[in-house]
Chains A and B, each alone.
Chain A
Amino acid sequence: MMDLALIFVSALVINNFVLAYFLGLCPFLGVSSRVDTALRLGLATTFVMLVASIAAWALNTFVLENAPYLRVISFIVVIASMVQIVELLIKKTSPTLFRELGIYLPLITTNCAILGLAIFQTNRGYNFVQGFTFAVGAGLGFTMVMILMASLRVQTELARVPALLKGPALVFLLAATLSMAFMGFAGLFS
C-alpha cells in the first residue's frame, strides 16, 4: 500500500512529468493559455495514459518477454491504435464526452509523455496495479501543472511584457520557477 502511495505521489509531484522529466512540453507550450482548455487536455491526457499503461503492461507481459528489442516499435504502434479504437468507442457511446475530450485525443497520441510513461513503467518493472497507479499519478500531475501554467499565462497576457521576453521565452522562465517550487516536494517519503 505504501508502495502504491509512493508511486502515485512520486509521479504526481516529486518527479512530475513536465517539471522534472520535461515530457509533454508541446501541449504545455501550445494549449496552456486558457484554464478550462488546460483542464480538459489534462484529463484527456490522463485517460490516454491509462490506456497506454494498460497496453504497455499487456505487451510486456504477453508479447515482449523474449523480444525486448521490439519494445519501441510495438509501443508506438499499439498505443496509437489503441487510442484510435478508444476514440471511436467514445464517439459511439458518449457524444458528450467526445465533445469534451475527443478533439485532443489524436494530438495526445504523439505526445512524448505517453511513450515516456510506457517506457518508464517498463524500465521500473511495474506490475498492472503499479502501472495503473503510476499512470493516474502522472496524468493528474500533468493536469495540475497545465492548470497552474494556464493561470499564470492568463495573468501575463494582461501584463506589459518586454519585447525580449515575449513568446516561449517567458513561458520557460515561468516553468523554471514552477519547477524550482516543485523541488520542495522532494523528500516527502523519507
Chain B
Amino acid sequence: MSGGTNATGTAPKVSSVRLLSTMGGAGALAGLLIVLVYQFTLPTVLANRAARLETAILQVVPGSTRYDTLYVVEGALTATLPPGADARKLDKVYLGVSEAGGATGFAIPTSQAGFQDVIEIIFGYDPGKPGTLGLVILSSRETPGLGDKIEAPRWLAQFTTLTTPLTAVKAGAAQNPGDAQMITGATISSRTVIAAINKALERWTPILAAYRAGGTS
C-alpha cells in the first residue's frame, strides 16, 4: 500500500471512494481538533475581550464600577435586546454605573481614518455638562515616535474635563473649556481624534437625549 506516496509517473489507479474517504477522514479529524480546542479556549478568549472592554469603559467614565450595554434598535436606545436580534450587528454605547447605582456617563466607541490607518477610540461623555470624561485609544497604526503620541497618557488626560463640541487648537493655546490641544509633530493624528469625537457626538447627542428623556434616569 505504500504506492500512494512514492508513485510518480506511474500513478496507480485509486478509486474515488478512497480519495473521498481520505479527504473526509482528514476533514473530520480537523473538525474534531478545532472544535475541541475552541471549546477549551473560548471562555478565556471571551473573558480577555470583556476585560479589555471593561477596563477601557471604566477608565473613560470615571467613578463607574460596572457598565450596562445599550443597543440602538430602530433609532432608539434600549438595554434589552429584542428577541432574534444579533448583538454583534447592532450599534452600541455603554452606560457607566457607579457603586450606588447611579449613571456616571456614557462610553461611546467610534473610529476615523487617521494618518496611516483607521484609529479606533472610546470616549466618556456626560450629556449634562455637556463634555467629555475621558479618552482611550483602542487601536491605531500611527507612525511610531510621531503620530503614536496620541496614545500618551499626558495628552489623553485633557479629555477628562473638556466641554463639547471640541475645538482643536495648537499645543499650549487652550483658553476656552472646549479647546482641545493638538500635538506638535502629531497634528494630523491628534486632530483626527478630536474630529472623531465631535462627529460621534453629532450623531449620538439626539439619541442619548431621547434615551435620557424617556429613560429611568
- Touch between chains A and B, by CB atoms below 8 Å: yes
The reply to whether B117 and A73 form a contact with Cβ atoms under 8 Å apart is no
A155-190 interface code vs B (CB 8 A; 1 in, 0 out) = 000000000000000000000000000000011011
Point out the residues of chain A lying under 8 angstroms from B192, CB to CB.
Answer: 190
User: Does B149 sit within 8 A of A, measured CB to CB?
Assistant: no
Count A-B pairs with CB separation below 8 Å: 28
Q: Is the Cβ of B114 less than 8 Å from the Cβ of A15?
A: no
- Greatest chain B CB density within 10 A among A6, A15, A70, A190 is at A190
Q: Are B191 and A190 in contact (CB under 8 A)?
A: yes
**Is the C-beta of B30 less than 8 angstroms from some C-beta in chain A?**
yes
What's the minimum C-beta distance from A100 to chain B, rounded to whole angstroms? Answer: 31
List, in ascending order, chain A residues with CB within 8 A of B116's CB.
14-15, 186-187
Number of chain B residues whose Cβ lies closer than 8 Å to a Cβ of chain A: 15
A-B contact pairs, 6 of them (CB 8 A): A6-B113, A14-B116, A15-B116, A15-B117, A73-B34, A190-B113
Q: In the complex, which residues of chain A have a beta carbon less than 8 angstroms from the beta carbon of B114?
A: 190
Known A187-B188, A190-B192; contact A73-B30, beta-carbon cutoff 8 A: yes
Roughly how many angstroms separate A70 CA and B38 CA in the complex, as a whole number? 10
Specify which of B115, B116, B189 lies most central, judged by the most chain A CB atoms within 10 Å of its CB. B116
Residue B143, interface by CB 8 Å = yes
Within 8 Å of chain B (Cβ to Cβ): is A32?
no
Chain B positions 113 through 135: 1 when the CB is less than 8 Å from some CB of chain A, otherwise 0: 11111100000000000000000
Determine which of B34, B113, B143 lies in contact with A69 in the assembled complex, contact meaning CB atoms within 8 Å.
Answer: B34
Q: Within 8 Å CB of A70, what residues of B? A: 34
CB of A17, distance to nearest CB on chain B (Å):
14
Task: Tell yes or no: A33 within 8 A of B by CB.
Answer: no
Q: Is the CB of A189 within 8 A of B113?
A: yes
Contact check, B117 vs A69: say whether CB atoms are below 8 A apart: no
Q: Counting chain A CB atoms within 10 Å of each CB, which of B113, B115, B143 scores highest?
A: B113
Interface residues of B in 25-51 (CB under 8 A from A): 30, 34-35, 38
User: Nearest A residue to B195 by beta-carbon distance?
Assistant: A190
CB interface residues, B 144-187, toward A, < 8 Å = none
Q: Using an 8 Å CB-CB cutoff, how does the interface string of B45-79 with A read, 1 for contact, 0 for none? A: 00000000000000000000000000000000000
Q: A15-B116, A190-B113 are in contact. List 14 more A-B contacts (CB 8 A).
A: A10-B117, A14-B116, A14-B117, A15-B117, A69-B34, A69-B35, A69-B38, A186-B116, A186-B143, A187-B116, A190-B114, A190-B115, A190-B191, A190-B192
Nearest CB of B to A48, in Å = 24
Quote the shortest CB–CB distance from A105 to chain B (angstroms): 22
A residues in contact with B38, CB < 8 Å: 69
Bound CA–CA A6/B112 (angstroms): 11
- Tell me the complex Cα distance, A3–B51, Å: 31
Query: Quick one: closest B residue to A189, CB to CB?
Result: B113
**What residues of B have a CB within 8 angstroms of the CB of A14 in the complex?**
116-117
Per-residue 0/1 for A1-32: is the Cβ within 8 Å of any B Cβ (1 yes, 0 no)?
Answer: 00000100010001100000000000000000
